[in-house]
Structure 1
Amino acid sequence: MTSTTGSPPRPAQQPPSRSSASAGRTAGSRGPAGDPYGYDVERVDPSAPGRIGGSSAPRRRRRPWVRWVLFALSFLMLAASAVALYFFIILPLGFGTSLVAFTTALVPVAMIFTAVWWLDRYTPQPRMTLVYAFAWGAIGSVLLTFFFGGFFDTWISPAKETEVVDTFLGAAVQAPVIEESMKSAGLIGLLIWGRRYIAGPLDGVVYAALIAGGFAFTENILYFARSFHEAQAGGEVAVFWQTFFLRGVLSPFAHVSFTALCGLGLGIAAERRSLMLSFGLGIGGLSLGMVLHALWNGSTFFLPVDPEAPLGGFLRYYASVQVPIFLLLVGIVLFLRLREKRILRRQLSEYGRAGWFSPDEVELLVSMRRRGRTEAWAARHGAVARMGMRNLIRTAVALGMERHSVLFARPTTKTRARERELLEQLTSDRRLIGALTEPVVRG
């Protein structure tokens, strides 16, 4: 790769031959004098056809069909849940009402998709897992909330309760506890299937945002449908637009903010490869999300209501409490985004000093604008060249982030084998791009 638009990508120069002292280095040992970087695998020319050496015992690869079977079963369960959700919840609303509510709910979920796309495009996640996250939020977590919500509401309700107490407990206690728990269950599922899906704090936030966005999407359909029924019954359309303003304009990221705290905690723990941190930070983030959810739902019971301006008290509370909380969370996410860029630059520079990337290639890989230009250049040589370039960029990004995560823990045979896989993929992508872009006959 190269940072100059319009010129073909050149493989990194072959690293200089090592001395006899460094040639006998074992995996994980430090380099020769003057080279403080201890490289884990044998260094070879990235454009050479040979496999990377320097490995220990061969890695036992997980059978690929196991993961696909797990994903297929999960999606089948979500599909069955979607059918049940449609027949028992959406269909009774009526086709016209459901269509109006569905169309209106697309507005806030489009905002969430845009934010997630911007966060995820720097270190992109597999599309299949992104689809799963949204499907879990929109289908699985909603059905589980309906199922467990009734039992939990019965458990926390006093023997003698008024309608106001029942409504308050449902909004400020039952909804935060059950909804946040069911949404976070999707994050646990991703961690069980593979640590590489949630490898850092920003990954956890991205998946949490998609799960919460899916949940809010289905919930908004139900709220908008109920509001549309009330508007039809009362002959007053203002009820419907007020609900849309509150849920679709003022608070499209409310659920995202709550669930993102759990995703943030699990991502920090996953980056450090610590099971104890996963429990501690996961439960801590989940609890904090429940508190913010309860604060959001319960505030309406304590705010003064002015008959002449019923929304005035809520808007003042929203501007003084919820907006600062939201801006704080946005600041955390922006910091994580910049942090990933610094991590990628630092780790790829280490690989560059080991001979895998030139300085220009490192700058290309950490810049979204240069990535786009390089992919556009590759596209002029055909779709296969563009796919190869895109895969090379993603492999390099995964390599840098994987290396950063390994530094928090002790390198193992599995992590070294994963590193070899990524480096071999880089070699393969370089040869493919070179074969498709280099002229057959040189002038």
Structure 2
Amino acid sequence: MTILILSALLPVLLVLLYINYSDKHEKEPKKLLIVSFVLGAVLSVVLALIMYFGFDIILPLKDDFSIQQQIIKAFLVVGFTEEFSKYIIVKYYAQPKKAFNEPFDGIVYAVMVSMGFAATENIIYVTQGGFEVAMLRAFTAIPAHATFGIIMGYYMGLAKFSSNRILYNFLGLFFAVLFHGLYDVFLFLDFIPGIAAGAFISLIVAIVLSRIAIKKHQFNSYFK
């Protein structure tokens, strides 16, 4: 069991090390990073479960072979629920901090929260599914959650130093939900032959955009 948990956490750790390495200008206080991660691992998961329960009551989706229902599930029930539960932690805990003093910090804190959420989720899946699930998710779900966090954090980093904070924060949430939904919808429509390949295409696009976002905020933070 210990080895399974470690296999679930290793890709999360690699993402965090990469983001920390990419933070070239001013490293964030370790306490804030740890708290952000823990809030993502605990609070965002609890909030997501509450929202899932609420959606199950007001919007029950019972037909696994309905394209319309699977689209709603991917974008609204899963994508919005999970990204919103991360977003409010970044917005109300990390963004107001004085240490959040450069655009790249939006990426750092959003990824910390996202990886906290992903760590809890990954432990659950891997302990149930074993090493094969750990290997699969190390190259799919974990990078996906990382890219959602980077995209969200890019806009929330802009928001902190903009007069249009509401707009940029909204865009952070919107695009995180959009890419999360795009990734999931191809997986949920697995009853359509070959469509699952779309999930990997959307992930590759998200990774490319994430690299661009990182480069831009490295530049923006240097001149902040």
Category of TM-score, reference length = shorter chain:
0.7 to 0.9
**DSSP-derived class of the 1:137 partner:** helix
1:200 equivalent among 97, 102, 111: 102
| Structure label with greater radius of gyration | 1
Which position in structure 2 is the counterpart of 1:281?
A: 168
- Summarize deviations over 1:3-62 as a string: whole Å, max 9, x none: xxxxxxxxxxxxxxxxxxxxxxxxxxxxxxxxxxxxxxxxxxxxxxxxxxxxxxxxxxxx
1:134 aligns with 2:13: no
In structure 2, distance between residues paired with 1:111 and 1:292: 22
Q: 1:262 aligns with which of 115, 137, 152?
A: 152
CA distance in 1, matches of 2:201, 2:45: 31
Cross-structure match for 1:147: 50
Residues 152 and 174 in structure 1, CA contact (< 8 A), matched pair in contact too: yes
1:338 to 216, 219, 224: 219
Length, aligned pairs only: 221
SS where residue 104 of structure 2 aligns? helix
Partner of 1:348: none
**Partner of 1:293 in structure 2?**
180
Equivalence map 1:151-162=2 (5 Å): 151-157=54-60, 161-162=62-63
| Conserved? CA contact 2:95–2:160, under 8 Å | no
User: Which one-letter code corresponds to 2:188 in the other structure?
Assistant: F
Counterparts of 1:271 and 1:164, CA distance in 2: 45
CA distance in 1, matches of 2:74, 2:107: 25
Give the root-mean-square deviation of aligned CA atoms.
2.5
Report the AA paired with residue 217 of structure 2.
L
Counterpart AA for 2:215: L
Q: d(CA) in 2 for partners of 1:117 and 1:154?
A: 40
Where does structure 2 lack aligned partners over 5 or more consecutive residues? none
TM superposition shift of 1:132 = 1.0
Superposed CA offset, 1:156-190 (max 9, x none): 226xx434459835444311111111101111223
Distance in 2 between the 1:126 and 1:268 partners?
Answer: 20
In 1, the alpha carbon distance for the partners of 2:84 and 2:128 equals 25
Say whether 1:271 aligns with 2:161: yes
**1:253 Cα offset (Å):** 2.0
| Superimposed CA distance per residue, residues 192-213 of structure 1 (whole angstroms, 9 cap, x where no aligned partner) | 653x232332110010011101
Question: Letter of the aligned partner of 2:203 in structure 1?
Answer: Q
Alignment of 1:22-421 (within 5 A): 96=1, 99-157=2-60, 161-165=62-66, 168=70, 169-191=72-94, 193-194=96-97, 196-228=98-130, 240-241=131-132, 243-272=133-162, 274=163, 277-302=164-189, 304-305=192-193, 314=196, 316-318=197-199, 320-341=201-222, 343=223, 404=224
Question: Is the 1:199–1:267 contact (alpha carbons within 8 Å) kept by the matching residues of 2?
Answer: no
> Identity over the aligned pairs, expressed in percent?
22
* Counterpart amino acid of residue 37 in structure 2: F
Alpha carbons 1:101, 1:220 under 8 Å: kept: no
Distance in 1 between residues matched to 2:29 and 2:143, nearest whole Å: 23
Hey, what does 1:62 align to over in structure 2?
A: none
| Residue identity in the other structure for 2:216 | F
Contact 1:176 1:294 in 2 (8 A): yes
User: Which secondary structure does the structure 1 equivalent of 2:193 belong to?
Assistant: coil
SS in 2 for 1:253: helix
Q: Distance in 2 between the 1:180 and 1:187 partners?
A: 11
Shift of 1:301: 3.3
Q: Could you tell me the TM-score, scaled by structure 1's length?
A: 0.46
- Structure 1, gaps ≥5 residues long: 1-95, 229-239, 307-312, 344-403, 405-443
Q: Deviations over 1:397-424 (max 9, x none)?
A: xxxxxxx4xxxxxxxxxxxxxxxxxxxx
TM-score (norm 2): 0.86
